[in-house]
């Protein structure tokens, strides 16, 4: 393995369908109506549509916080539009700014749908290995009651936030994996670093949108392998990896959409999820011209399972 990869001491020593089933619908920018805030203090201003920053009310991202992030409590959040819609969540673009100053940042805000409309149609397999301590909550989730669905949505948001925080810190230390900085999580709303053109508010392209030349294709594949090794050493698999949840930003491959992150050891289906992740992305790279010898799914899957301590 490469010297800059995650050290062995940080490993967990425990022994398609379509590429993406999110609706690939990208809407034009415009005022987007998000879910009603639970906190009355967060109600939008009736004249401007702005609301106070929820930073102080949320679980905050890992420290040190990036310099670009606005953490002042006097900041206001302004809805700019919808970046992406999906079956389970919508992603909105929000500007957080301190009025009367030049302090501002753009955030991608992922909001899971109302329990009555959410379509977590594949959640049972992903949720294996995830348990809460209270038996009442476990029964509610198993029975898919309204309360149980709300609990599940909270688990998805919290799981994605925790995974991003962990992987962000690894990326900062070793540079072998890139994910958006997880700004905060509050209930079923997750705020993330916006990756893209900040002047135009245009998100970085997904890998699926690109047709890389041979050299760039090989470079992106190398970055992907490094990132998957980091995940495996942490005992994780993305769980739904595809060219639609990989961004290419400033020459870097960035993993996104990790609510279904899978513990490959605690989840009995973990190795299957990992193998499927590899198969889907390897198929895409091979179809774009990467030699089969460089994108061998069986070989990469075996490597990742060894790194996870399974084989």
Question: Which one, of 113, 193, 194, lies nearest residue 154 by Cα?
Answer: 113
Cα separation, 138 vs 252, in Å, equals 39
49's tokens:
């549509």
H or E element that contains 110? strand 104-112
Residue 23 makes CB contacts below 8 A (sequence gap 6+) with 85, 86, 87
Residue 204 makes CB contacts below 8 A (sequence gap 6+) with 195, 196, 247, 248, 249, 254
Choice among 22, 50, 90, 240 that is catalytic: 240
- Beta-strand pair 189-193/59-60: unpaired
Cα separation, 274 vs 238, in Å, equals 7
188's tokens:
């079923």
- Catalytic-residue membership of 257: yes
Choice among 257, 277, 294, 296 that is catalytic: 257
Cα separation, 138 vs 300, in Å, equals 36
Cα separation, 191 vs 156, in Å, equals 14
Spell out a b/e string for 62-83, using b for 16 or more CB atoms within 10 Å of the CB, else e: eeeeeeebbbeeebbbbbbebb
CA distances from 64 to 69, 102, 154, 168, 174 (A): 11, 21, 25, 11, 16
- Catalytic-residue membership of 240: yes
Just list the catalytic residues.
Answer: 240, 257
């Amino acid at each position: 393995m490469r010297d800059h990869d995650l050290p062995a001491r940080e490993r967990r020593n425990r022994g398609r369908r379509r590429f993406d089933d999110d609706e690939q619908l990208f809407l034009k920018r415009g005022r987007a109506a998000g879910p009603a805030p639970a906190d009355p203090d967060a109600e939008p201003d009736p004249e401007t549509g702005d609301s106070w920053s929820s930073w102080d009310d949320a679980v905050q991202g890992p420290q040190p916080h990036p310099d670009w992030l606005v953490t002042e409590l006097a900041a206001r959040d302004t809805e700019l539009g919808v970046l992406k819609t999906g079956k389970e969540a919508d992603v909105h673009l929000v500007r957080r700014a301190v009025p009367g100053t030049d302090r501002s940042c753009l955030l991608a805000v992922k909001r899971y749908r109302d329990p009555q409309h959410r379509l977590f149609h594949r959640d049972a397999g992903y949720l294996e290995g995830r348990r809460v301590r209270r038996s009442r909550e476990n029964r509610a989730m198993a029975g898919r009651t309204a309360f149980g669905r709300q609990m599940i949505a909270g688990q998805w948001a919290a799981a994605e936030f925790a995974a991003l925080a962990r992987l962000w810190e690894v990326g900062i230390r070793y540079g072998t994996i890139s994910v958006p900085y997880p700004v905060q999580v509050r209930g079923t709303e997750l705020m993330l670093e916006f990756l893209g053109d900040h002047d135009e508010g245009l998100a970085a392209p997904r890998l699926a949108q690109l047709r890389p030349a041979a050299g760039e294709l090989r470079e992106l594949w190398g970055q992907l392998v490094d990132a998957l090794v980091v995940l495996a050493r942490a005992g994780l698999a993305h769980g739904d990896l595809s060219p639609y949840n990989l961004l290419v930003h400033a020459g870097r491959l960035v993993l996104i959409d990790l609510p279904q992150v899978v513990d490959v050891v605690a989840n009995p289906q973990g190795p299957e999820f990992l193998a499927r992740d590899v198969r889907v992305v390897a198929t895409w790279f091979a179809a774009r011209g990467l030699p089969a010898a460089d994108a061998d799914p069986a070989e990469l899957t075996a490597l990742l399972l060894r790194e996870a301590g399974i084989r």
